[in-house]
Structure 1
Amino acid sequence: MSTYYPIVYTLRSVKEHQLREGVSLRSFRPARDALCLITEGRGTARIGSNEFVLKPGMCLRVRPGETVSLMPAGKQAKLFYIHGAAVMLDLGDPEAAVAASGLPLMECGSVMLPAKAAAEAAALLKQLIPLVISNEHTDRHRSQSLFHELLHMLALYAEAGKLPADDAVLRTMKWMDRSYNNPVSLNMLPALAGLTPSSYCRAFKRVTGMTPGAYLTKVRLTEAKRLLTDRGRTLKEVARSVGFQDELYFSRTFKKREGISPSEYRRKGSRRIAIVSQLFLQDHMLALGVQPIAAPSFPSLFPGQGVPGYLRPMLNQTIPLNVERRIRYSELSALSPDIVIKTSFRHDPFDQDWREQSNTVVLDGVTKWTGYLEAFATLLGKEAEAEQIIRNIDAQQQAARDALKGLIPAGKWTVIRALADEVRLYTGRSHAMTDLLFQDLGLEMHAVDDAEPYISHGLAKLAELDPERILILWSDAGSLGRLKANPLWQSLRAVAEGQVYAPDSREWDPWGPLGRAHTIRECVNYFSRI
């Protein structure tokens, strides 16, 4: 198993400089890595053998030993000069501790921040100046936190400039998914994507089927519908929690999109629904804007709430049900659910008891994620919302399929999962993940002659197939280590040729729309990096 080497970034100093017209900053050679952020004015800079035209929002990386000279072109120029250090730690060798030092604070030579981001960076650096010279422990911790925030901002915009258009759109969608509760300027999104406004809007419409503004509104209203199930929140609190500063505007927007007012939605959506399943079916309810009172969790797989990270923020008011064991109906009776959505558990002695309850709806025999979504939509009276969700996912799948054409090596693929006591070989039949990979995202499948979704104890069959490429999913480090030590595994062509791919897929779950969108994004991100 490969060793993990974390990189630690440390801030040394921050200074603000003001340069007058015709007066250059005296040439110097820094002893350590540094960053120079221009906040006002224009001019030129020479760093080593490279020349730069300076303008507000530009951040330059200065390497140790490079000669630096700056000359303003107007009345004056303002800039921040930041000294820092980055070291890579070797956790496997506590005596040595440092595996590498002198690493760059920023991978590229320059990053151009849009106006709003540049203003945010400047405000952040002004906060840093008194903190970095303070002797208080709390100030030191705060200064390091703000420094990492600055580095994250620079890395975000640096990466955006390198991405293909569709990938860049997915990045801005992810950013809106996280930042919807803050005032969001749609004008900054093209810069975040590294595209012109017109190119960005065209790419966004192609990927999602909607405008950036419509997508942001959808994200906000989806969260608003979840919050409306909490009767302890006023409409004003709900509006502000999802980024609307005006309650009246929030209500008008909600009614225009949903067909009913927030108050009416709250009355209609007051049914108490619990889910008992070994699938994260709460994904479908949350996508439709309804929060269940209780839902499945797998605490051994996802410590804490027992659910993937992309679902966690939306389930704060939901009771987690540990479905790694069998659950009796009596365990839910105290919650007084109006409806219980149930799927059968294998060899569950309590299944018959569940079926006899008048408020239980059993969803068995569903083979597609869309089937579950449509069932929930019918139950909740949200058929129109489900149709839009399916269209949005279709658009994301097509965009990802186009992006992956230039990223994935040609050849036939086989998907496996390494467990403690077996290797599962997926056949490409009736399974949400293989449907997504082979039908929707365009990977070419190595045919496996079996009617089941996967073959248990499939290592011998895998050796018989000897595929060109292997994708390993949902496998922990211990199981992977045991698999790699197996001589049969070592004899495989894909292993010998280095065509084995093992992304961190713990949260890849295409059985629901939120998980499917997350899986699509992470799949594209993984193949973009290799």
Structure 2
Amino acid sequence: MLDHTKTTPASDGSAARMSMDEVRAYMSGHYHEPLSIELLAQLAGLSPNYFGEAFKKATGRSVMDYLTGLRIGRAKQLIRETDLYMREVARSVGYSDEYYFSRKFKKEVGVSPSVFGRSARQRIAALSASSIGYLLPLGIVPVAAPLDPKWSPYYHYYYQSEIRVHLEAPDSGKDADNIKSLMAAKPDAVLIQESCEAAMEEWLASSAIELIRIDAEDWRGRLWQTAKALGRSASADRWIRAYESNAAQAKQSIREAVGADRFLTLRLSGDQLYMYVNRGIRDVIYRDLELAAIPRLSEVYNEPLSVLELAAIDPDRLMLLVCPDAGTRMQWLSLQHDERWRSLKAVKNRFVYQLPSNPWFEYSPVAVSRMLEETVLLLTGKNPTLAPVPVHGRPEGSEL
């Protein structure tokens, strides 16, 4: 029985009431306990009915659905990383009945805990950070992958403790170190998107490790290739259907916010502006969301553009990628004081959205999903995710 004496506010209201974020944090720390809507509402100082409505408005999910998500997420981690019996996993995440837990797990994940456990123990290595974004949708956390807080901050933040062997970047010139790390990780297979260095290619060819090479035109095709090789086609299908459902909702929400406004995507490198579209921008901005743009931006594009030429186009809204080197950052500061720039319709209306390199320079299912979420946040102000978007751009001129 849960002791509420230390966790609930006093009935006279003397104890501080929790904010909605604090309640969510409390749930994250106490998900294994028998939490009720009444208890959580009391922590927030609200009636149960009002609390339930406020919680769903803030998170997009009901209180109990959110709690189930926390419990099943932790259960997946325990199944992947420990040898606990299923009844022990169930009790560890707040379910006293192993069979009820199994039904809940299958409803949330799509497979039973035992099936998930067998497949989750596949040992797959990824040779690039973007390859991680093809494994996670299939329920696979790689045993080894390149991780760095600067050039793969999302994966580093969320998966640094789960990815046990951290490789160097493919272009770091440290293939010998990576080979030693892979030998220690003992993967069953290695996922490769692009060609790798000669030493790595030679070692992989001579090892007993299966090589999975994906080269389809777009991320959906590459996800299907990966899923087929790993026996995860059902997971790929579920993930793509969920993404397309989210994209349809995002499209409607954004259309209501921006109407028929015309967009232009730019990249600033050094002192040169470019009309710019990479594969992720093409797929998310111009295909899935169908934002209005000048015709030639419907495909991958990278064409130099002067400020005068930009002024002649004068789009309603601008999305801008600024390369992270010091010289480009200085040029960006200078450009913002250029009268020709300041006279642009998008600048005057504060409709310039600066995009970070992560995830916008990555091309993977996880990256495009994050791009979709960030675009909704930028253009509507609404966060479509259950948790704060960890890396996102902001409208120019907004307060930090």
TM-score (norm 2): 0.69
TM-aligned CA distance change 1:219 to 1:503, over 3 Å:
farther
Match of 2:132 in 1: 282
Match of 2:385 in 1: none
Paired residue secondary structure (1:397):
helix
Match of 2:172 in 1: 325
Paired residue secondary structure (2:75):
helix
Q: Tell me which amino acid in the other structure corresponds to 1:491.
A: R
Describe the superposition over 1:426-445 as per-residue Cα deviations: whole angstroms up to 9, x where unpaired.
24xx6123311122123112
**CA distance in 1 between partners of 2:203 and 2:304 (Å):** 33
The structure 2 residue matched to 1:316, chosen from 159, 162, 183, is 162
**CA distance in 1 between partners of 2:267 and 2:233 (Å):** 35
Describe the superposition over 1:138-176 as per-residue Cα deviations: whole angstroms up to 9, x where unpaired.
xxxxxxxxx6x834559x9xxxxxxxxxxxxxxx9x999
Match of 2:45 in 1: none
Paired residue secondary structure (1:239):
helix
Match of 1:448 in 2: 296
**CA distance in 1 between partners of 2:347 and 2:235 (Å):** 48
Q: Tell me which amino acid in the other structure corresponds to 1:443.
A: L
Q: Tell me which amino acid in the other structure corresponds to 1:271.
A: Q
Is this contact kept in 2: 1:180–1:242, CA < 8 A? yes
TM-aligned CA distance change 1:248 to 1:289, over 3 Å:
same
TM-aligned CA distance change 1:219 to 1:458, over 3 Å:
farther
Is this contact kept in 2: 1:251–1:261, CA < 8 A? yes
Describe the superposition over 1:253-306 as per-residue Cα deviations: whole angstroms up to 9, x where unpaired.
445777865345433432211001251x223322322221112324324xxxx4
**CA distance in 2 between partners of 1:449 and 1:517 (Å):** 21
The Cα of 1:220 is off from its aligned counterpart by 5.3
Is this contact kept in 2: 1:426–1:434, CA < 8 A? no
TM-aligned CA distance change 1:449 to 1:401, over 3 Å:
closer
Is this contact kept in 2: 1:377–1:386, CA < 8 A? yes
**CA distance in 1 between partners of 2:267 and 2:370 (Å):** 20
The Cα of 1:415 is off from its aligned counterpart by 1.1
Match of 2:141 in 1: 291
Is this contact kept in 2: 1:417–1:472, CA < 8 A? yes
TM-score (norm 1): 0.54
Paired residue secondary structure (1:292):
coil
Is this contact kept in 2: 1:416–1:472, CA < 8 A? yes
RMSD: 4.6
**CA distance in 1 between partners of 2:36 and 2:289 (Å):** 32
The Cα of 1:374 is off from its aligned counterpart by 1.6
Where in structure 2 are the equivalents of 1:451-470 lying within 5 Å?
A: 453-455=300-302, 458-459=305-306, 462=310, 465-470=313-318
The structure 2 residue matched to 1:336, chosen from 160, 169, 186, is 186
TM-aligned CA distance change 1:491 to 1:259, over 3 Å:
closer
Where in structure 2 are the equivalents of 1:83-98 lying within 5 Å?
A: none
Describe the superposition over 1:16-68 as per-residue Cα deviations: whole angstroms up to 9, x where unpaired.
xxxxxxxxxxxxxxxxxxxxxxxxxxxxxxxxxxxxxxxxxxxxxxxxxxxxx
The Cα of 1:513 is off from its aligned counterpart by 4.2
The structure 1 residue matched to 2:55, chosen from 179, 192, 204, is 192
**CA distance in 2 between partners of 1:313 and 1:178 (Å):** 19
**CA distance in 2 between partners of 1:335 and 1:515 (Å):** 26
**CA distance in 2 between partners of 1:349 and 1:371 (Å):** 26
**CA distance in 2 between partners of 1:179 and 1:401 (Å):** 36
Identity rate of aligned residues, in percent? 23
Describe the superposition over 1:110-134 as per-residue Cα deviations: whole angstroms up to 9, x where unpaired.
xxxxxxxxx99x935789968xxxx
**CA distance in 2 between partners of 1:372 and 1:194 (Å):** 35
Where in structure 2 are the equivalents of 1:353-392 lying within 5 Å?
A: 353=202, 356-357=205-206, 359-392=209-242
Is this contact kept in 2: 1:470–1:494, CA < 8 A? no
Q: Are 1:528 and 2:375 an aligned pair? A: no
Match of 1:267 in 2: 118
Match of 2:80 in 1: 229
Describe the superposition over 1:224-275 as per-residue Cα deviations: whole angstroms up to 9, x where unpaired.
3443221344434533555544333223444577786534543343221100
By relative contact order (CA 8 Å, sep 6+), the higher-ranking structure is 2
Q: Tell me which amino acid in the other structure corresponds to 1:447.
A: P
The structure with the largest alpha-carbon Rg is 1
Where in structure 2 are the equivalents of 1:45-84 lying within 5 Å?
A: none
The Cα of 1:471 is off from its aligned counterpart by 0.7
The Cα of 1:397 is off from its aligned counterpart by 0.8
Q: Tell me which amino acid in the other structure corresponds to 2:164.
A: T
Match of 1:439 in 2: 287
Greater share of helix residues, 1 or 2?
Answer: 2
Q: Are 1:491 and 2:359 an aligned pair? A: no
Q: Tell me which amino acid in the other structure corresponds to 1:366.
A: A
Match of 2:387 in 1: none
Q: Tell me which amino acid in the other structure corresponds to 1:455.
A: N
**CA distance in 2 between partners of 1:360 and 1:327 (Å):** 22
Is this contact kept in 2: 1:124–1:150, CA < 8 A? no
TM-aligned CA distance change 1:183 to 1:261, over 3 Å:
same
Is this contact kept in 2: 1:342–1:362, CA < 8 A? yes
Moved more, 246-255 or 182-191: 182-191
Is this contact kept in 2: 1:283–1:514, CA < 8 A? yes
Q: Tell me which amino acid in the other structure corresponds to 2:220.
A: T
Q: Are 1:482 and 2:350 an aligned pair? A: no
Can you give the 5+ residue segments of structure 1 that lack an aligned partner in the other structure? 1-118, 131-146, 157-171, 205-210
Describe the superposition over 1:362-387 as per-residue Cα deviations: whole angstroms up to 9, x where unpaired.
53433322223222322332212221
**CA distance in 2 between partners of 1:241 and 1:507 (Å):** 35
Greater share of strand residues, 1 or 2?
Answer: 1
**CA distance in 1 between partners of 2:179 and 2:244 (Å):** 40
Q: Are 1:417 and 2:256 an aligned pair? A: no
Report how many residues are paired: 357
TM-aligned CA distance change 1:226 to 1:422, over 3 Å:
farther
Is this contact kept in 2: 1:294–1:319, CA < 8 A? yes
**CA distance in 2 between partners of 1:183 and 1:288 (Å):** 31
Paired residue secondary structure (1:123):
coil
Describe the superposition over 1:60-94 as per-residue Cα deviations: whole angstroms up to 9, x where unpaired.
xxxxxxxxxxxxxxxxxxxxxxxxxxxxxxxxxxx
**CA distance in 2 between partners of 1:365 and 1:477 (Å):** 30
Paired residue secondary structure (1:414):
strand
**CA distance in 1 between partners of 2:268 and 2:12 (Å):** 49
Is this contact kept in 2: 1:271–1:338, CA < 8 A? yes
Is this contact kept in 2: 1:183–1:243, CA < 8 A? yes
Q: Tell me which amino acid in the other structure corresponds to 2:331.
A: R
TM-aligned CA distance change 1:317 to 1:356, over 3 Å:
closer
